[in-house]
A = this chain, B = another copy of it.
Amino acid sequence: MKPNFTLRLRIFNLNCWAIPYLSKRRADRMKRLGDFLNMESFDLALLEEVWSEQDFQHLRQKLLPSYPAAHYFRSGVIGSGLCVFSKHPVREFTQHVYTLNGYPYMIHHGDWFCGKAVGLLVLHLSGLVLNVYVTHLHAEYSRQKDIYLTHRVAQAWELAQFIHHTSKKADVVLLCGDLNLHPKDLGCRLLKEWTGLHDAYLETRDFKGSEEGCTMVPENCYVNQRELEPFPLGIRIDYVLYKAVSGFYISCKTLRTTTGHDPHSGSPLSDHEALMATLCVRHSPPQHTPSPTHGPEGSQLISVLKEAWRELDLGVAQARWWATFASYVIGLGLLLLALLCALAAGGGVREVAILLWTPSVGLLLGAGAVYLFHMQEAKGLSGARAELQHVLGRAGEAQDSGPASQPALLLGQQEGDGTEEQ
């Protein structure tokens, strides 16, 4: 790479809202999306909620000349909904499916069946190693009573850890997707603090689009207006996040969003707004390298880690409560079945006993499934909690050995092995 070299990247991100049979005017919107992507010829187009593999295959055929590389990330029962199109060759693809992703019995929400995941593509561009992540976290169906909060925090932590551990040799890291998190939400702060990623909307000096960068706005005719009532301007839950490491500097030259309608025709491409960012990567003079060793950043990191730990701890307790409750129901169901067997054998209320047999067996099997599910949930949450605990333990030791070394130690960017770990 030449000293004065600048790499310019044009990125497109959209949650496509392409649910077969359910999403309005899906075929038309996907067709227009393909036309738009072909016309604009971005370096990378990252899409979420492309639930039908057929939609992906149609797009792939259409985009082949301008985006020769493409990948669809398969997981869960339905799929992750994630796919990517790239103008440049992609070295490597892989994916990580989140351990926790809602509840199978919340069939009307459906997230559990999707197998939400994070996809990774590694590109080598002009001698730079670029790790690009695309993801979609569990939806938030009620902000007042959000039963999925703990799962979303656990997903944010898994995402942060996946990025942290897989991007150690990357020069540039880019994360796009629908996080289903508002900018100040715990999961979003946890992700940004632990990975050191910067928010394109907050960093750019040239933004044009919806007010406050919102990616779900009331002007969009596909948006459920009632859900947006508490937010007159809309909400910002889709992101372009980035960082550069080791001698490089990345900045967001321009950021555009759609504003409730297709940039060309009047009708919107999705119920979400598209994000279009132009990023510049260049060699960094030392003062430009973002340093993770600032005191205040370190203390922010610790405070957000503690907050996440508490949230996961609550989640573990709740999951264990459900598992215990289910085990009592199992006991009760077994008792009921024994009673019904005795009644059926003894004659008398035989027909009633036989009638009650079905709900009793159903109760037993249902409670068994609930028990297994919440045991698994408790294990998953306590796994994430243990990882946070370990990071916080190291922070404590670092504080003892002086505040200057603390965040660097936490981020694993220091050589040597000066601390003990319990």
* Distance A90 CA – B422 CA, assembled complex (angstroms): 9
Chain B hits for A120, CB < 8 A = 165
**25 A–B contacts from the bound complex (CB under 8 Å):** A69-B420, A70-B422, A75-B99, A75-B380, A77-B375, A77-B376, A77-B379, A79-B379, A89-B417, A89-B420, A91-B412, A93-B387, A93-B390, A94-B161, A94-B387, A95-B383, A113-B372, A120-B165, A124-B416, A124-B417, A166-B168, A357-B358, A358-B358, A361-B362, A362-B365
Specify the main secondary structure of chain A where it touches its partner. mixed
A74 pairs with B382, CB closer than 8 A:
yes
Interface string of A69-90 (1 = CB under 8 A from B): 1111111111100000010111
Of B91, B379, B394, B422, which contacts A68 at CB under 8 A? B422
Chain B hits for A361, CB < 8 A = 358, 362
Chain B hits for A351, CB < 8 A = 351, 354
- Nearest Cβ in chain B — how far from A178, in angstroms? 20
- Nearest Cβ in chain B — how far from A60, in angstroms? 9
Of B77, B94, B123, B357, which contacts A417 at CB under 8 A? B123
In the assembled complex, A92 has its CB within 8 A of some CB on chain B: yes
* Distance A57 CA – B99 CA, assembled complex (angstroms): 24
CB nearest neighbor in B for A417: B124
Interface size on A, residues (CB 8 A): 66
Which residues between 347 and 368 of chain A lie within 8 Å of chain B, taking CB atoms? 351, 354-355, 357-358, 361-362, 365
- Nearest Cβ in chain B — how far from A305, in angstroms? 13
* Distance A122 CA – B379 CA, assembled complex (angstroms): 22
Which residues between 117 and 173 of chain A lie within 8 Å of chain B, taking CB atoms? 120, 122-127, 161, 165-166, 168-169
Of B72, B126, B166, B422, which contacts A69 at CB under 8 A? B422
A166 pairs with B166, CB closer than 8 A:
yes
In the assembled complex, A97 has its CB within 8 A of some CB on chain B: yes
Given contacts A166-B168, A351-B354, A357-B358, 6 further A-B contacts (CB under 8 A): A71-B386, A74-B380, A76-B379, A89-B420, A125-B417, A358-B358
Using known A-B contacts A68-B420, A379-B79, A420-B68, determine if residue A412 contacts B95 with beta carbons closer than 8 Å: no
- Nearest Cβ in chain B — how far from A84, in angstroms? 11
Interface string of A45-58 (1 = CB under 8 A from B): 00000000000000
